[in-house]
Structure 1
Amino acid sequence: MATVSIFLRSAFLSSSRATAVRANASFCAKKFSTAEDLKKTPLFDFHLSNGGKMVPFAGWSMPVQYSDLSVINSSLHTRSSSSLFDVSHMLQTQVTGKGAEKFLEYLTVANLANLKNGNAVLSMFTIAQGGIIDDCIITRTGPQSFFVVSNAGRADVINEHLQTQLREFGDDKVVLTSLSERALVALQGPKSASVLQEGVKGDLSQLKFMSSALMSLFGIPDCRVSRCGYTGEDGFEISVPSTDVIQLVDTLLAADPVKLAGLGARDVLRLEAGLCLYGNDISEETTPIEASLAWCIDKTRRKDGNFLGAGPILQQLKDKPSKRRVGLELKSGPPAREGCQVIDSDGLKIGYITSGTPSPTLQYNIAMAYLPRQFCKIGTVVNVQIRKHTVNGRVVKMPFVPSRYYI
């Protein structure tokens, strides 16, 4: 880890300074808030006392990195060991009642009827026009009970959407409960399972990727442990009562492999894993098909078509979209950032970058872009306009870094 290439030293030169969020994360300015109205997670003071460099993100004050590790070293540490992220800003919602399954199936593209108890699925909330208003993880916690985690930046939109649809659906059939009294932390990396195993009575090897269980963790009851994450590594997201989160975090950090990590490393890792950031890579203006997320809609949902936006989404699935999200590798020049234009050999704009970063793992620049269908074939060479530079890029398969989920 101590030896890094000249490329990475240059790319991440400012990662330990106040410019880290600009240089190392694809954070949209529209997600930022003023200091006066920022929300704080239950770990806010803990972050400050542990060298967290706080930045505004999605209406919250969140750590972009910590004083002991640069963004590059934090990213590499996660890939080789174990990192702990505060993700308490995420929206946690419990959906229960005799109509809970049908309600969520109408609002998302998920097949929940076939989802077994304790299993989870990545899905999307869609609108009538076919666009995505948020992505989410839905976990079945009972016959008509679901645990939903969605994005902080879309919390108000999702809450309003749920309430609006609930009035139309019938609020006697569904109960929505905001789990605002619970914190959420993510333990990510190949050594995470061995660290967590010390705190549970059961065998964590039985908890596979995208499965979840309620358990006591290091003596703390009522912890929901889900084997998933936003890094492409094996790891866990732990929903814990806010009153107990500092005790849990202190215990986890006492394990030698575990280091705190912030938004900077999280953004780099999710991009290496080919995962979308809402507002950058997916939005109300993009459909699941355009976003290369058609795999989230299984045969049953394609056949029943009983979800918001099914008409335009399924038609696009049949006809093929005019544009699609793709991965680009750029092995020379500066990194491409959100908004950079993708141009063809004649200098004509054909698409745009949605996220981009230097990859610590691969040691070259990577990005996501939306391109016309004829430019989406793997191996296609395009040009990216980065300020005054024109840089060659090549369409590649995602994830950029092979995932290591515990399947």
Structure 2
Amino acid sequence: MTQKNLLTGPTLRFDGNPMTRGWQDAVRIDSDGAVLLADGVIAAVGTANQLRKAHPQAVETHYGDDHLICPGFVDAHVHYPQTGIIASWGKRLIDWLNDYTFPEEMRLSDTAYAQEVATRYLDLTRAHGTTTVASYCTIHPHSVDALFSAAATRNQRIVAGKTCMDRNAPEGLRDTAQSAYDDSKALIERWHGTGRASYAITPRFSPTSTPDQLAALGALWGENPDCLMQTHLSEQTDEVAWVRDLFPQARDYLDTYEAHGLLGARAVFGHAIYLEPREIDRIAETGAALVHCPTSNTFIGSGLFDMAALATRNIPIGLATDTGGGSSFSMLRTMAAAYEIGQLRGTPLHAAQLIWLATAGSAITLHLGDKIGSLSTGNEADVTVLDLSSTPAIAQRQAQAKDAWESLFATIMMGDDRAIADVWIAGARQP
């Protein structure tokens, strides 16, 4: 007989998108809520009394009033190979890639090292309450195998793809248009839809792919339209200028992808800070998604993402750490940074919006909103439980909070891995 686990206590529920409607109508906290986990999925959601009576054999885990039962965090844009170089000092994007990123990614040419980093990365992110990531790997196919395999041992949902680059990168990190196509095709056949794995076709960004490689990957996506396509877009002004020099015929940065079949509803673009009006229009028209990477944008000095304006266009927007350009593995710290960037733009986000972006919002950008990101019946049972009084500083603020949202906001702004009381992946409580 399958064991049923009943989680009781304050529970986060979504009734809509708080970025496009009032957060009060879209997000709520049920103070006496409950979530029933069985066979790896959420079997029921309701009040504690209702589910206790309906499922008397369930094993109950009760969380007190200073806790919050949430969907597992979804990190929509990461580079797991950069785990070891997180928080490397003092460079802007292009120099940062050359001085830190590319040398470290070359180390993953060693299969054993790739496996070690993949395991370490998933350990670190799980400790911070993250249950799903969408990751760039390296050009080495075994780096993709390493991450998918490490996730499979945990029954963890994962999105990943081989990073493709055939120019403007060290020799040890370049492939070709043909090998990028062939390697990616073989990885799709091996992993996409296997267990909880999804593949994302992954050109790093236009400056490191020739038009031939972009066209080859566009053709591959056309042959596998249920895959995602993830890449970078308009992260820094000098990058945008570089793209203009490399693609003089393109109307704008987005056009370097669109002209090669790499724009569509399942496209996911990281950063997107310096968008032209035409680019915004095309992203909205095609249903492509954007991912906000606030700690990375401040750490590397990129700029301020315009969340408020882009959300009004009904563009799907997720949230991400962008490890290791981002300076933290924590989605709590990422939410805090998103709030701070919103303040600088004069459009601060409410705690309800921040937690939605880190869960349901990110899941929607990855076309996984029907599987993860919300505590909904039938969804996969990925759950993160927050301790809203995890440190003395947070506890004293929590004691003064007027309501649950003030309490949650204090943990968003000051919390770290100590605020993660429990993590459940596919219904299994994690060590």
Taking structure 1 as the reference length, what is the TM-score of the superposition?
0.28
Structure with the bigger percentage of helix? 2
Taking structure 2 as the reference length, what is the TM-score of the superposition?
0.27
Structure with the bigger percentage of strand? 1
Higher relative contact order (CA 8 A, sep 6+): 2
